[in-house]
Amino acid sequence: MKTIPVEALNELDAAIELAALAREIARHDKLYHGKDQPEISDAAYDALVARNRAIEARFPNLIRTDSPSRRVGAAVAEGFAKSRHGEPMLSLDNVFSPDEFSDFCKRIRRFLGIAEDGALAFVGEPKIDGLSINLLYENGVFIKGATRGDGAEGEDVTANLLTIPSLPRKLTPPFPAQIEIRGEVFMEKADFLGFRAAQEKAAEAREARRAAGEKLGDAIVIPANPRNAAAGSVRQLDARITATRPLKLLAYAMGSASEAPAETHHAFLDELRRWGFAVNPLSRRLDSEDVAEAFQAEIGAGRAALAYDIDGVVYKLDRIDWQRRLGFVGRAPRWAVAW
């Protein structure tokens, strides 16, 4: 990547670099979402996206129609039916320090017209590194489930999701007539190690058969990390294979709904539990910005001991009426952030 400071770029260099970034980020999106085999770290990917955003902020006239800031994830892969989400599945902006978190809070207060010392309550949730999915329930019955895909439409993986024991087939009443529930499918670290060891053994056996001249089917994929293992497992064309994988599901958000189920996010999480979903037990209502900062430190200190990989903590403004007023900018909500 070029290291010329954004302020020093001229318009021609900026246009050339934006074209290169659009191509490069699209390639990484495809590797990450389409093939579940990323080539670069999340941090390196975030740096590309941040550089793209910074150049676009300086040269808004150069924003491309295929700009990565207008897209989420990758396009639908071949082999699955497409499924349009009732509401788009968006992404989250990141902060990396107490200062940046504080700026995020200031922006919220300014937007809502709240006093500078006005308290903001959040819910903090570990950001599990898995595969996000959208689950449609009608009259309390699970109808279909899809991957995020490009944010507007994903892959219909209903049959595969039905093999996950923690996915409720029916909700405990009362519930809205129609609701989309969002959550993360993931593999715990210990389960991942067991699964990878089994795949390695299977690959060795396959190699022995190949050496003996046998004609073989598909290669055996050895996933690099729990995220890739979970994503690859959900995106199997044969649900019988998914059924053998140790997958879990935690629910944390909603998409479209025929009626609003709660006035605060923490009350919504209680509803999710009541309906029958697993909700992360570490998710917590945080009364103020300071309490949120303390939570960040607490989760950070306990991170290595968690049963699953996380890549941060998501902070969501607790009041849903305020979430609605804040709305979205680009592909991310103004009322939530990943730290």
Query: Which is nearer to ligand IVH, 171 or 337 (by Cβ)?
Result: 337
The answer to the question of residue 127 lying near ligand IVH (CB under 6 A) is yes
The answer to the question of residue 252 lying near ligand IVH (CB under 6 A) is yes
Collapse the DSSP code of 302 into the 3-class scheme (helix H, G, I; strand E, B; otherwise coil) and give the result.
Answer: helix
Among 52, 69, 83, 91, binds ligand IVH (CB under 6 A): 91
Are the CB atoms for 184 and 135 separated by under 8 Å? no
As a whole number of angstroms, the distance between CA 30 and CA 37 comes to 9
Among 104, 171, 333, 334, binds ligand IVH (CB under 6 A): 333
Query: Which is nearer to ligand IVH, 14 or 179 (by Cβ)?
Result: 179
Task: Give which of 192, 187, 189 is closest to 164, Cα–Cα.
Answer: 187
As a whole number of angstroms, the distance between CA 321 and CA 245 comes to 39
Among 29, 36, 125, 289, binds ligand IVH (CB under 6 A): 125
Task: Give which of 332, 261, 264 is closest to 121, Cα–Cα.
Answer: 264
Active site residue 316: no
In the region spanning residues 162 to 221, those forming contacts with ligand IVH, defined by CB under 6 A, are 184
Which of 30, 82, 127, 215 does the annotation list as catalytic?
Answer: 127
As a whole number of angstroms, the distance between CA 56 and CA 49 comes to 11
From 32-40, 98-106, 126-134, 157-165, span contacting ligand IVH (CB under 6 A): 126-134
CA dihedral 83, 335, 284, 228 (to 10 degrees): 40
In whole angstroms, the minimum distance from the beta carbon of 184 to ligand IVH comes to: 5
From 5-13, 24-32, 122-130, 265-273, span contacting ligand IVH (CB under 6 A): 122-130
Work out the burial of residue 18: count CB atoms within 10 Å of its CB; fewer than 13 is exposed, 13-18 middle, 19 or more buried: buried
By CB under 6 A, name the binding residues for ligand IVH: 90-92, 125, 127-128, 132, 148, 184, 252-253, 314, 333, 336, 338
Give the residue numbers annotated as catalytic, written as ranges.
127
